[in-house]
Amino acid sequence: MKHKRLLMILMTMVGIAALGGAAFVVAEPPAPEVSSATLYREPQPAGLSEMPVAGAMPDEDGYAGPVVEAQIEGGEASGEGGAAAPVDWEAFFTEPQPDEDAGVAADDVSIHAWSNFYYLNVTGTALRPRDSTVTWDNDGTGGCLYQTGGSTLEIFNIHLHIPPGSRIDYLRLYYYDTSSNSSIAWVTTYDNEGGVDDLINVSSSGSGGYGTMLSPYLGHVVDYASDSYVLNWRSNQTGNSMRLCGLRVAYRLPN
């Protein structure tokens, strides 16, 4: 009888200790290397000495004070102003698009192991030339880029990083084109040892101004252990009659 009572006490205490241990693990994750509070207490350069402790600002967890909403629509922040007539890219779509979830058949067995679409969307003016002999400008809004000098065979590029193991399905090119030439965008992989592979490409079409074109389906699973990925654009035309307004990569995550 005595043993039974002792056993019951022991079991109860083990249970309580287990709960306490779990609470300890949840409540105390490893501390970050340098806490913001510690950093903010260190001497700050002139103008930054008033920085508050962590949690006191709207962009920090735990903040409960008033929030001032952004009121910079229309481009006041850059002073550049918006486009006189903003482009309605959706107006170019007269039917469901294969790089949008609404355009994919529900019974498409090829997507069952993958998530809905995610997008990496890059503004044209974020790209830079691979060669410093090339000069460039933007359309005034800062969204569309065009080449102003240098060989039209040169290339503008930007690093492409999407979640490891995800699948690139499509590349969409947004452009302004009143030229008789066509620009081209593509995705390249480099193995850092001299190997290169252009995975997919898409060209601007016609000369009617703003437009968007979609690449064929790719279905490439990214592998950053072996390759780096780059977005490229070649204008094939100098001047603002050929502009790169954006590149959008449609990808899926493994389910």
Partner 1 sequence: MTRSRKLRQWLLGGCVMLVLLMTAGPGAVLGREAIAAETMASGWSNFYYWNVAGTTLRPRDSSLDWDNDGIGGCLFQTAGSTGEIFNIHLDLPPGSRVDYLRLFYYDTSGATSSAWVTSYNNAGGLVDRTSVTSSGSAGYATLSPYLGHVVDTFNNSYVLNWRSNQLGNSMRLCGLRVAYRISVAYTFLPVVMKNA
Among 97, 123, 125, 188, binds partner 1 (CB under 8 A): 188
H helix or E strand, kind and range, residue 148? strand 145-149
Of the candidates 253, 82, 235, the residue with the CA atom closest to the CA atom of residue 148: 235
Task: Give me the least distance between CB of 180 and partner 1, in Å please.
Answer: 26
Q: Which is nearer to partner 1, 151 or 180 (CB)?
A: 151
- Kindly state whether residue 76 participates in binding partner 1, applying the rule CB under 8 A: no
Task: Give me the least distance between CB of 25 and partner 1, in Å please.
Answer: 7
DSSP string covering 16-46:
HHHHHHHHHHHH-PPPPSS-HHHHHHS---T
- Kindly state whether residue 29 participates in binding partner 1, applying the rule CB under 8 A: yes
**Residues 8-27: x/- map of binding to partner 1 (CB under 8 A)?**
-xx--xx-xx--xxx-xxxx
Integer angstrom CA distances of residue 16 from 27, 46, 162, 178: 16, 52, 45, 74
CB burial of residue 243 (10 Å; 0-12, 13-18, 19+): buried
Q: Which stretch binds partner 1 (CB under 8 A): 69-77, 104-112, 150-158, 211-219?
A: 150-158
- Kindly state whether residue 132 participates in binding partner 1, applying the rule CB under 8 A: yes
Q: Which is nearer to partner 1, 52 or 81 (CB)?
A: 52
The token pair that represents 12 in the structure block: 């109860």
Q: Which is nearer to partner 1, 158 or 184 (CB)?
A: 158
- Kindly state whether residue 237 participates in binding partner 1, applying the rule CB under 8 A: no
Q: Which is nearer to partner 1, 26 or 102 (CB)?
A: 26
- Kindly state whether residue 233 participates in binding partner 1, applying the rule CB under 8 A: no
Compute φ and ψ for 60, nearest 5 degrees: -125, 145
- Kindly state whether residue 194 participates in binding partner 1, applying the rule CB under 8 A: yes
Distance between CA atoms of residues 57 and 64, nearest Å: 9
91-92-94 Cα angle (round to 5): 90
Nearest-10 Cα torsion for 184, 205, 142, 157: -10
- Kindly state whether residue 175 participates in binding partner 1, applying the rule CB under 8 A: no
Task: Give me the least distance between CB of 221 and partner 1, in Å please.
Answer: 14
Q: Are 168 and 192 in contact (CB under 8 A)?
A: no
- Kindly state whether residue 193 participates in binding partner 1, applying the rule CB under 8 A: yes
Q: Are 171 and 246 in contact (CB under 8 A)?
A: no
Task: Give me the least distance between CB of 229 and partner 1, in Å please.
Answer: 8
- Kindly state whether residue 62 participates in binding partner 1, applying the rule CB under 8 A: no
Interacting residue ranges for partner 1, rule: CB under 8 A: 2-3, 6-7, 9-10, 13-14, 16-17, 20-22, 24-34, 36, 39, 44-45, 48, 51, 54, 60, 128, 130-133, 155, 157-159, 161, 164, 188, 190, 192-194, 196, 224-225, 227-230, 232
